[in-house]
Structure formats: C-alpha cells, structure tokens
Amino acid sequence: MADIEKKPVDATPNVTEVAKTEASTETAAVNAIEEPAAQGEPIIQVRNLVKHFPLTQGILFKKQVGAVKAVDGISFDLYAGETLGIVGESGCGKSTVAKLLMLLEQATAGEIFYKGQDITKLSGRALKAVRRNIQMVFQDPYTSLNPRMTVGDIIGEPFDIHPEVAPKGDRRRRVQELLDVVGLNPEYINRYPHQFSGGQRQRIGIARGLALNPEIIICDEPVSALDVSVQAQVINLMEKLQDEFNLSYLFIAHDLSIVRHISDRVGVMYLGKMAEIGTDAQIYEHPTHPYTQALLSAVPVPDPEAREGRERIILSGDVPSPANPPSGCRFRTRCWKAQDKCATEVPLLAVPERFKASKTPAAHESACHFAEEKDVVHAAS
C-alpha cells in the first residue's frame, strides 16, 4: 500500500467546519450517537474521502503497480430529513461512496462524521450503534435476498444482531408490521423470495432496511432493475416512508429524472470526484459544469415537442479509466471548453468566483475553471 498517495487530493476549502463531538468513553460515544439528530442539521459530513483500490502484479511477491482511484477526495453534507441524490455514469465511484458510508470498505484517507464523530475510527459498541442507524437498500432485488430464507427470516435477521430493538417474543409481530408498512400482505411472512415479483422483492428489501429504525438509508440504484410501471410505486413508497419515519436518504442512481423527482439536493460525480453539487433547481435548471450540462442534455425526454427546441450536447469518446485519470480537470478529455489551464490545474469544488456576489441560482458549488450557466433541460423559446 506504499504507493498510494496519502495527501488529501484538492481539499475543498469551502465546506463548513465540522462540529466534532469529543467522547472520552465508549458510553459517551454511544450516547452521542443515540441522540436523535436535529432537523435541518448535517447528520453526515464527508470530508476529503478517498478510496484507492491497489492494482498488483506478481503471484508470490505482489507488488503494487498502480491504483484504481474510485473515489478521489470528495466532501459533502447530508442533512437530517433530506434526500441527497448522487448521479454519475458507471465507474464514477458512486457505489463506492455508498460502501464507504456503510463501512463495508475501508477508506484510504478522509473522514466520515456522523453526528460529529468520525465513524472510520470507531469500534466496539459505538460502531455497532452507528451501523444500526445507517442502513442500505440494494439495487438488485433478485440477488440481495437469500433464496433459502423466508421473508420473515430476511426481515427479522437484523434483530438477531440488535436484539434491543425487538425482544425475541415480539419479533414476528414486528416483522408483520414492517410488511404492512411497505404495502405487502402481513400473511406473506412465511413465503420465499421467488414467490414475489421484482417490485414486491424491492419492498422486502426496504422493509429489511427499516427494521432497525435507522436514521439514514443509503439507496444504491433502488429502482433501476424494476419495470417502469412498478418504479413509480416504489418511489412513492420511499417518499411516504421518509415522511413517516423522518429518514435521510442518500439516493444513488444513474437515472437523472428519478433523482430529480426524489431529491432535495443533487451531487454530480465524474471519475471519483464531485463535479457539481446544489439543490435540485440549481443543478437541473442552472447547471454550470459542462459535464452536468452534457449529462442533462443527453437524457431522452418522453415528449417529442419538448425536445425539439432543446440543445443536445453529444460528448465524444468514453469515460477514461479511473486507474489513470487525466491530469488537471478529469473531464477535460471530453470537454468542449477545455484549455491549457484545465490540463495543469485541478479545479476546486467551490462557488465560481463570477457568481459569488450574485444571488442567482447559478451560485452553487461547481468544479470548473470556466463555469457558465446554461439551461439544457428546457426548450429554447
């Protein structure tokens, strides 16, 4: 692991200072975690998060020849009760972010603060308490449910690890309650996953995510494997549950229309970096990063008339390999605005200088040297 650069790759200076909670004892740490989060306050704060996967050569004496820079220094906040959408093409590192937040992967560098505590450094009871509060819904409802377990066992399994949430005698009733909450018949408790359709299975996955009353649910492409008519049902269900249980969602998807529908704020990722982040109106109506503009303009809109007046930006080429990303701005190889500066200087994720003074929606964080506002979603009139 020697070759991996430990230096924080372009630290984003503008993100707010993290109010760190100092907990001297484990009990104090657990108590701090159990404290409910205040509405509108940041619940998760990610700072300069880096994940490099080493590339090795040789069988007996493995030596590292490089690294896939899946996530290369990103920072963002997730507020209590909001939905933060993360979009990007395949290979941009969005799923790695999900795994890092779940602590399923160990970060190479950087910090993840949950209520002011860096969870990458926690262990023991405090870590267990964090894990209870952050749950996940997976993409593929066909492979994320064990085919040999009944629905009751699947949804009830989290209680084996966290028995304090539901005492043993109460579990069956609790599972039935959860089935009811996600719109499934509570009598299906003894059925197996194969007896359900894709949409119903995803509801089971959501029920499992809800079992431990978490505060945060990380959804990694939760509807992309579903049919169009069923997608809407699941999205509506997720919105309903968010209001009911006051959940915060980190919603990862590649479908920009769905992300706009469900998100309060949206972050656009490209090759392991955050290209642009802002509220849904800022990103969709007033994008300033060329990549966001190209991404939005490429989305097919199901209305031939609305699209005729729209400008379409067709990018050339493919996404470069994250093992060997371009120098400077990572998007420059496909960008039509790229100049010499882009090859040498890494653009920082910050509110562009020219928009700083203005109160317009264009004043949001964008990592481009030549940020310019451009509406690509609506038809030019």
Partner 1 sequence: MKTNKLNEQAEGDDMTSAETAGGSGPDKAAPLLEVRDLQVEFKVRDNVTKAVNGVSYSVDAGETLAVLGESGSGKSVTAQAIMGILDSPPGRISGGEIYFQGQEILSMPENERRRLRGAKMAMIFQDALSSLNPVLSVGFQLGEMFRAHRGMSRKDAKAKAIELMDRVRIPAAKQRVGDYPHEFSGGMRQRIMIAMALALEPDLIIADEPTTALDVTVQAQVMDLLAELQREYNMGLILITHDLGVVADVADKIAVMYAGRIVETAPVHEIYKRPAHPYTEGLLASIPRLDQKGQELYAIKGLPPNLQNIPSGCAFNPRCARAEDVCRTDIPVLSQVTERDGTELVGRGSACHFWKETIHG
From the list 261, 323, 337, 361, which residue makes contact with partner 1 (rule: CB under 8 A)? 261
Choices 34-42, 145-153, 222-230, 363-371 (CB under 8 A): range interacting with partner 1: 222-230
- Cα-based distances in Å from 228 to 199, 207, 234, 295: 10, 21, 10, 21
User: Which residues within the stretch 74-133 sit at the binding site for partner 1 (CB under 8 A)?
Assistant: 89-90
Choices 14-22, 63-71, 119-127, 252-260 (CB under 8 A): range interacting with partner 1: 252-260
Distance of closest approach, residue 187 Cβ to partner 1, in angstroms = 17
From the list 26, 140, 177, 280, which residue makes contact with partner 1 (rule: CB under 8 A)? 280
User: Which residues within the stretch 186-205 sit at the binding site for partner 1 (CB under 8 A)?
Assistant: 197, 199-200
- Determine if 148 is a binding residue for partner 1 (CB under 8 A): no
- Determine if 254 is a binding residue for partner 1 (CB under 8 A): yes
- Determine if 231 is a binding residue for partner 1 (CB under 8 A): yes
Nearest one of 226, 212, 96 to 157, comparing CA atoms: 212
Distance of closest approach, residue 212 Cβ to partner 1, in angstroms = 27
Please give the full DSSP string across 206-226, using - where no structure is assigned.
HHHHHTT--SEEEEESTTTTS
**Long-range contacts of the stretch 312-321 (C-beta < 8 A, 24+):** 313/376, 319/89, 319/90, 319/91, 319/92, 319/270, 319/271, 320/271, 321/68
Choices 45-53, 115-123, 253-261, 346-354 (CB under 8 A): range interacting with partner 1: 253-261
Instruction: Spell out the residues 6+ positions from residue 295 whose beta carbon is closer than 8 angstroms to its own.
Output: 87, 89, 256, 268
- Determine if 314 is a binding residue for partner 1 (CB under 8 A): yes
The DSSP H or E segment spanning 161 is helix 151-161
- Determine if 139 is a binding residue for partner 1 (CB under 8 A): no
At 8, the amino acid letter reads P
Q: In this structure, what token pair is assigned to residue 294?
A: 């190209």
- Determine if 373 is a binding residue for partner 1 (CB under 8 A): no
Beta strands at 63-79 and 42-57: parallel, antiparallel or unpaired: antiparallel
8 Å CB contact between 125 and 118: no
Three-state DSSP at 355 gives: helix
Instruction: Spell out the residues 6+ positions from residue 22 whose beta carbon is closer than 8 angstroms to its own.
Output: none
Distance of closest approach, residue 232 Cβ to partner 1, in angstroms = 4
- Determine if 323 is a binding residue for partner 1 (CB under 8 A): no
User: Which residues within the stretch 326-355 sit at the binding site for partner 1 (CB under 8 A)?
Assistant: none
- Determine if 324 is a binding residue for partner 1 (CB under 8 A): no
Q: At what angle do helices 198-210 and 228-245 cross, to 10 degrees?
A: 20
Shorter beta-carbon distance to partner 1: residue 16 or 316: 316
Shorter beta-carbon distance to partner 1: residue 109 or 234: 234
For 59, counting Cβ atoms within 10 Å of its Cβ (0-12 exposed, 13-18 middle, 19+ buried), the class is: exposed
Distance of closest approach, residue 247 Cβ to partner 1, in angstroms = 17
CA 86 to chain centre: 5
In the sheet where 109-114 sits, what is the strand order? 63-79, 42-57, 109-114, 117-118
- Determine if 381 is a binding residue for partner 1 (CB under 8 A): no
- Cα-based distances in Å from 307 to 95, 284, 293, 312: 31, 15, 15, 9
Distance of closest approach, residue 264 Cβ to partner 1, in angstroms = 10
Choices 29-37, 39-47, 243-251, 306-314 (CB under 8 A): range interacting with partner 1: 306-314
Nearest one of 284, 298, 297, 267 to 366, comparing CA atoms: 267
Query: x-or-dash pattern for partner 1, window 14-53, by CB under 8 A?
Result: ----------------------------------------
Distance CA 94, CA 84 (A): 12
From the list 118, 153, 157, 239, which residue makes contact with partner 1 (rule: CB under 8 A)? 239
From the list 233, 328, 346, 348, which residue makes contact with partner 1 (rule: CB under 8 A)? 233
- Determine if 298 is a binding residue for partner 1 (CB under 8 A): yes
Q: Which residues of this protein are in contact with partner 1, per CB under 8 A? A: 89-90, 197, 199-200, 227-233, 235-236, 239, 254, 256-258, 260-262, 280-281, 284, 294-296, 298-307, 312, 314-316, 318-319, 377-378
